Amino acid sequence: MEIIGRRKIWYALSLLILIPGLISLLLQGLNLGIDFTGGSMLQLKFERAVTVENVRDVLDKANVGSSTIQLAEGNSVIVRTHTLEQSQRNELVGAMKTQLGDLTVERDENVGPVVGKELTRNALLALLLAIIGMVAYISFRFEFKFAVAAIIALLHDILVVTGLFSIFQIEVDSSFVAAILTVFGYSINDTIVIFDRIRENLRKKKKDENLDALVNRSVKETLTRSINTVLTVIFVLVALLFWGGNTTKVFTLAMLLGVIAGAYSSIFNASPVWYDLKQWERAQRRAKAKAA
């Protein structure tokens, strides 16, 4: 399998998604849901038990589909929507009564964002600390160039997910932040497995074996394991996407895109980036030797 020899093709394929995604992020950003922007909140106590699907049907018919629904104790339901006028909220409550039975309005108000600037800042801080920890650990167990290549591959995965969400203006909620952090932690696994095999093969490297051939062989030896692992996760995520309900859709879709991007970057980006860093290091050494 020719990974290193065709690495420019793999880089180009990544850029085909990354560049439009970055442009979209700069021009139109993400479609932030009410968790980020705030909106209206209704807390309704029904006489009989209702399901999320029941409430969702009423909201869809009232063209308030982009909302979050949370079941509470005692047949209560908390509905968060984009900002609605009082008359619109009254109409919505009326539709609920007509279609789902008698209810009592326990709370009716406009609210601020659940995910405030502080939480977003904390998530970014967690990401930064994770990067520092990974760089330190991988540098200690492998070498610094492995750490750089791994982080580049992880950033690729996150940018692919956020870029696609921005391009298609898929509404993001608070679970999107959790999905991004999860993808960041999950994607490193396959990369480390491949790096570990490269390190192992470097110790047993034959004198006449080139570095590109060694990397290709290492990726090939771990390819079956990587594909099998990713496929099992993808099967679960696809099932959740179609049958997991609306509440988990954003999280599942972000995870699915992230896992696929992670599998691609682990196989086609991480090792080639490490190889290019090694080649650059050798070129620097040769240049210094000539200068001396």
Query: pLDDT confidence of 88, banded at 50, 70, 90?
Result: confident
DSSP-derived secondary structure letter, 247:
G
- pLDDT surpasses 70 at 80: yes
| Rounded Cα gap, residues 7 and 265, in angstroms | 11
Tens of pLDDT, residue by residue over 184-206, are 888 888 899 999 999 999 888 77
Coil vs helix vs strand at 59: helix
Give mean pLDDT, residues 207-211. 81
Q: What is the mean pLDDT of residues 36-65?
A: 83
Q: Is the pLDDT of residue 173 over 90?
A: no
Q: What is the DSSP letter of 102?
A: -
Identify the pLDDT of residue 114. Answer: 58
- Cβ atoms within 10 Å, residue 283: 10
Annotation: CATH topology of 39-111: Alpha-Beta Plaits (3.30.70)
pLDDT class of 273 with cuts at 50, 70, 90: very high
Q: What is the per-residue pLDDT for 115?
A: 57
Which DSSP symbol is given to 114? Answer: S
Q: Are the C-beta atoms of 281 and 188 separated by less than 8 Å?
A: no
If we measure between CA atoms, which residue out of 16, 11, 7, 15 comes closest to residue 275?
7
Pair 28, 163: CB distance under 8 Å: no
Delimit the CATH 3.30.70.3400 region(s) of the chain.
39-111
- The residue type found at 272 is P
Domain covering 115-291: architecture: Up-down Bundle (1.20)
Residue 167 has pLDDT above 80, yes or no: yes
Q: Percent of the chain at pLDDT above 90? A: 38
The reported pLDDT for the residue numbered 215 is 92
Gyration radius of the chain over CA positions: 25
Structure confidence at residue 65 (pLDDT):
63
What are the residue ranges of CATH 1.20.1640.10 in the chain? 115-291
CA dihedral 57, 58, 61, 62 (to 10 degrees): -140
Q: What is the mean pLDDT of the chain?
A: 87
Answer yes or no: are the C-beta atoms of 262 and 190 closer than 8 Å.
Answer: yes
pLDDT tens-digit map of 108-165: 877 666 556 677 777 788 888 888 998 999 999 888 999 999 999 999 999 999 999 9
Q: For position 12, what pLDDT does the model report?
A: 96
Quick one: pLDDT at residue 216?
A: 92
Q: What is the per-residue pLDDT across 17-45, written as a single tens digit (0 to 9) for each? A: 999 999 999 998 888 877 777 778 888 88
Mean pLDDT of 66-77: 79
Between 62 and 150, the higher pLDDT residue: 150
pLDDT tens-digit series, residues 226-266: 899 899 999 999 999 888 776 788 889 999 999 999 999 99
pLDDT at 166: 94
